[in-house]
Structure 1
Amino acid sequence: MFFRIKPSGGRRYLQIVENKRVDGKVRQVVRLTIGRMDELEASGQLARLLASGARHCEQMMLLSAIENEATMLSMRRFGAPLLFGRLWQESGIAAVLEELLAGRQFEFPVERAVFATVLHRIMVSGSDRACDKWLDDYDIPGTEELGLHHLYRAMAWLGEELLDEEQGDATPFAPRTVKDLVEERLFARRHDLFTDLSVVFMDTTSLYFEGAGGETLGARGHSKDYRPQLAQMILGVVIDQDGRPICTEMWPGNTADVSVLVPVIDRLRSRFGITRVCVVADRGMISAATIAALEERGLEYVLGARERTDRIVREVVLADERPYIPLCLERAGGNETQLFIKEVKVAGKRYIVCRNEVVAIEEAETRRQVVAALDRQLTRGDKALIGNSAYRRFLRPVSDAKPGRKSKLFEIDAGKLAEEARFDGVFVLRSNARISPLQAVLRYRDLQNVERLFRVAKATMRTRPIYHSSDAAIRGHVFCSFLALILHQALDEKLRRAGKRVEWADLLRDLDRLQHGEISQNGKRWQVRTEAGAAASAAFKAARIAMSPRLQTPQQAVA
């Protein structure tokens, strides 16, 4: 079947016609007369009819355009700039950057350069060196003239040190910089009478450098990335009880975790006006001096304790024979976790012991498999086993071993196995907060939000590795990942409020497939866009962003 225009009495009629063989000859059979062409064109009914049918056969629409020598003038991705550009404005980041840039004589749009870098970090990650080429494929208003040197200068501005008179809240490890002003003004914008920072969560990680690592930030230290041969820096992130990132702190790579908690909390109180605060942090930040300093300042804390290396915890707290209290905690997805909790006080110090039976079973099974593999290996030879940390902790030297080629030097230590079983599914908290044991456990569990942020920053947005050579550019580079986390969390919150669940990878893929451009045909120009996928559609609805029609004239687009 096909369309045919039938002249009749000075008028033209649009018909749907089918070729059929009748008596051995092909004849055109009219299936439907749609109407007069002049009326259909004037009323727009013909355009609507064809557009409606084209939805069911987009391939033919493209073939028709090619056959009629249509010219594609441009095609660029617009989904990510549209979505995250809205969040960029709503979060106040754009306004804060413009405020801080007032009076500075940059010859390029610094705010646009920062946004482009943040968006690049969200979509494809990688180094800033690839960002300027990546920009060519994206429709980001205001970035048309940006080059790589502009992006580097924007990073250096974010990490630029403030004047000496503005260094009052600096930690012993790092100076105050422009990025600190951004954090403080962002917090001030969302601060109101109901804003509560009484609970803050903090954790740290390490980021390694491919180059020298700046003037002071790059140093050798304990690498959580298992890259001890590379210079690194320490990154700390602080979030509030709602999971919103508050600020990020950066120190040289040889700074110990136990030395940073108190200076950071002191700085938080002065920067953000916190009066009463409960600090929630992991066991890596615990030391006697840290706890004493927190108590001296009148601060509350919920800190993870070292079950194996703290003698009081190992010999007194875990030996307490009072019964546990069973509790059920709801997890994401509606599932429940069964916990057993009890409170133990030793010399005025408050400990909360928690046991997760499901985790206990998993850890016991893992140990059983390790021991089984160890037993098999011992029959083949035991000298190489001592270099395996998973095996070494379950071995002991054979007391009556005799020098010789086939003599066993090590054997499985049953006592170590029994001692290890005491810790299956157990974690211990140290707290002075005026809250119930259940509340303490819930607050400590919320510390996982910080760990999730680190996973997003390091895996999805690839803050690491870092190639910049100056401290200022390094701080700016890492801070752009922090700004990306703010947008990530803002979108998560909108989706949650809208009752929608979207996989992050699916969303990024859908956003990257959204493209728009112009087609020129017979002297006319049309703006077209691709169809939005399910994940992108859900995100746009949650952010209250209306999509443009798939086909419109440039004049309609401007209007």
Structure 2
Amino acid sequence: MRQKVVLNLGRIEDLQEGSLDRLVASLVKFSKRKWIQAEAEKLMVHSAREWGLDLIFRHLWEQLGLHSILKSHFSKAHVSFHLAEAVYAMVLNRISDPLSKRGVIQWIDAVYHPSFLELLPNHFYRSLDLLSENKDSIELDLFERTKNLFDLEVDMVFWDTTSTYFEGKGPDGLASYGYSKDHRPDRLQVMIGVVMTRAGIPIAHEVFPGNQSEVDTFRQIIADMRKRFKLTRVIFVGDRGMVSKELLDALDRDHIEYIVGMRMRKAIDVGEVLKTGGRYKTVKGNLRVKEVWYDADRYIVCHNPIQAEHDMHAREEMVQKLEKQIKQNGFKSLIGNSGYRRYVVIKKDSVVGINQKTLKEEARFDGKYVLRTNCQLDTDQVAIAYKDLWRVERAFREIKSSLDLRPVYHWRDSRVRGHIMVCFLALVLESALQRRLKEKEITVEYTYLLRDLQQLRAVELTMDDRKYLCRTELAGSAHQAFKGLGIRPPLQVSDLTSSSPNNSDYYLQPLF
């Protein structure tokens, strides 16, 4: 072996005093891997938490004045700020990842919202009790704020009910067995009704015992709405499930205007109305309407030609399947099928045939539905108003699926009502966002929009002894939410070192 001196760097004793470290650091830049490792040592990432949904819905929360409304109604409590924040945390969780109240306490650690760090378990349960106590006054204040913010015309409100069941016993007097729209007659349940404007904004909700009929809830909410919200003229729009002669007669006596759908095959007056002639008037698209007066009551017959053709083909296909089944298996195969039995007739010598009279009667209903009203609106306006009832029905799908209203695990009356109030407030925020998107003519799949917003995260890190907040890139259609609200996303990097941790907006301090 031979040795060769390439370079004399000096005496080892001198280099060990610091010169060697500086020499190694200067050589790092010639090695990419070593340089990255050296720079990474300067960088410390502390957390990466959800941020997108909070940025959007906190803006709407403040616009609707909900924080100040809740604080004013919770003012008797010494921790009114924390209780109001606890309600917002539960509402945001309903929209993001519905969990139990214990689950929310753990979930808030994954969300970037500074004031959440101060919340304790008792804040959530106490706020539920206060929501229940102050429900009516909170809704009234929210109604006034919403009416002005969205320039709402509250001349027509929509009403529908649903049921949700309990896991366990439930509160006495509220939890009862009744007709379950969840198809769980084995569970104790509670009835819930929501009142919405024609623009699709919820303004009130009511909670009833699980065995209360829809007719009774409708009469109760009418009296409450007119008194509590001081509405002079309101037209109530309801589905055919709540219609009864006693209810409509009571509304007529009280001079309350209404638009309700009629049960097509069970109401005698509907059959007579459909027999009455008259010319249809085209409203828009495939909707045609005509006015019919019967027994001093006003009816609107609505007809959709495309739906009528679909109904006719469906019936013809059903008849073909029925004839085939009779030919192969005989009449006995239809004994357990009440839907098919009504279309067959037994002739002499036990010969089975198709009941042509029933088919002819069914053809009268193709593509049609009948409304009854005592208001003075034009026929086309009545029909359009009833079509808008889908907003309420869609709202119930939202509150029971994406907001995960059911099942309910609380057993105290106030906690159950408070839980439902949280779901109602979440529905208000989601409706407000969808209204803003519609106003800006932004068409986006709402479910995907929420998913994209959830991917926006806040990353806290330290570099050179300074603390920074970075946001991830906007994914998918997330930017549409900011556009719809007319706000800018936060800067990609913000300096937190000089910001006060008590300021809920400190993460918006700009760096450059």
Q: Give TM-score, length-normalised by structure 2.
A: 0.84
Q: Structure 1: which 5+ runs fail to align?
A: 1-59, 161-177, 330-336, 402-407
SS in 1 for 2:137: helix
Whole-angstrom CA distance in 2 between matches of 1:372 and 1:148? 63
Moved more, 472-481 or 143-152: 143-152
1:537 counterpart = 2:486: no
Partner of residue 363 from structure 2, selected from 421, 426, 430: 421
Given that 2:152 and 2:199 are in contact with CA atoms closer than 8 Å, whether structure 1 keeps it comes out as no
Distance 1:192 1:118, change over 3 A: closer
Partner of residue 242 from structure 2, selected from 266, 282, 285: 285
Q: Which residue of 2 aligns with 1:332?
A: none
1:86 counterpart = 2:27: no
Shift of 1:451: 0.9
SS in 2 for 1:268: helix
Q: Give TM-score, length-normalised by structure 1.
A: 0.78
Q: Which residue of 2 aligns with 1:299?
A: 256
* Percent of aligned pairs with the same amino acid: 37
Partner of residue 437 from structure 1, selected from 379, 383, 387: 379
Q: Which residue of 1 aligns with 2:340?
A: 391
Given that 1:286 and 1:305 are in contact with CA atoms closer than 8 Å, whether structure 2 keeps it comes out as yes
1:242 counterpart = 2:199: yes
1:313 counterpart = 2:270: yes
Partner of residue 274 from structure 1, selected from 223, 231, 252: 231
Q: Which residue of 1 aligns with 2:125?
A: 152
Partner of residue 371 from structure 1, selected from 305, 314, 319: 319
1:189 counterpart = 2:145: yes
1:211 counterpart = 2:168: yes
Whole-angstrom CA distance in 1 between matches of 2:355 and 2:187? 37
Shift of 1:192: 5.9
Q: Which residue of 2 aligns with 1:405?
A: none
Whole-angstrom CA distance in 2 between matches of 1:419 and 1:483? 46
Whole-angstrom CA distance in 2 between matches of 1:375 and 1:159? 58
Alpha carbon RMSD of aligned pairs, Å?
2.6
1:222 counterpart = 2:171: no
Whole-angstrom CA distance in 1 between matches of 2:274 and 2:80? 64
How many pairs are equivalent?
466
Shift of 1:411: 5.6
Moved more, 79-88 or 252-261: 252-261
Partner of residue 460 from structure 1, selected from 398, 402, 412: 402
Partner of residue 414 from structure 2, selected from 472, 475, 488: 472
SS in 2 for 1:73: strand
Whole-angstrom CA distance in 2 between matches of 1:398 and 1:151? 69
1:497 counterpart = 2:439: yes
- The structure with the largest helix share of the pair is 2
Partner of residue 344 from structure 1, selected from 292, 309, 322: 292
Distance 1:105 1:396, change over 3 A: farther
Distance 1:388 1:469, change over 3 A: farther
Partner of residue 356 from structure 1, selected from 304, 314, 328: 304
Partner of residue 451 from structure 1, selected from 386, 393, 402: 393
AA aligned to 1:94 is H
SS in 2 for 1:205: strand
Moved more, 521-530 or 479-488: 521-530
Given that 1:131 and 1:148 are in contact with CA atoms closer than 8 Å, whether structure 2 keeps it comes out as no
Given that 2:467 and 2:497 are in contact with CA atoms closer than 8 Å, whether structure 1 keeps it comes out as no
Pairs within 5 Å for 1:401-416: 401=350, 412-416=354-358
Whole-angstrom CA distance in 2 between matches of 1:262 and 1:245? 19
Shift of 1:147: 4.4
Given that 2:260 and 2:372 are in contact with CA atoms closer than 8 Å, whether structure 1 keeps it comes out as yes
Given that 1:200 and 1:240 are in contact with CA atoms closer than 8 Å, whether structure 2 keeps it comes out as yes
Pairs within 5 Å for 1:138-177: 138-160=111-133
Distance 1:388 1:154, change over 3 A: farther
Given that 1:68 and 1:521 are in contact with CA atoms closer than 8 Å, whether structure 2 keeps it comes out as no
Shift of 1:261: 1.6
SS in 2 for 1:472: helix
Whole-angstrom CA distance in 1 between matches of 2:128 and 2:384? 38
SS in 1 for 2:329: coil
Moved more, 210-219 or 275-284: 210-219
SS in 2 for 1:143: helix
Given that 1:370 and 1:390 are in contact with CA atoms closer than 8 Å, whether structure 2 keeps it comes out as no
Distance 1:375 1:355, change over 3 A: same
Whole-angstrom CA distance in 2 between matches of 1:223 and 1:435? 35
Shift of 1:463: 0.8
Distance 1:251 1:319, change over 3 A: same
Shift of 1:135: 1.3
Deviations 1:443-501 (A, max 9, x none): 11111111111111112111111111112111111111110111111111221222212
Distance 1:460 1:373, change over 3 A: farther
Deviations 1:395-425 (A, max 9, x none): 4566644xxxxxx8x7643322222221111
Whole-angstrom CA distance in 1 between matches of 2:174 and 2:335? 36
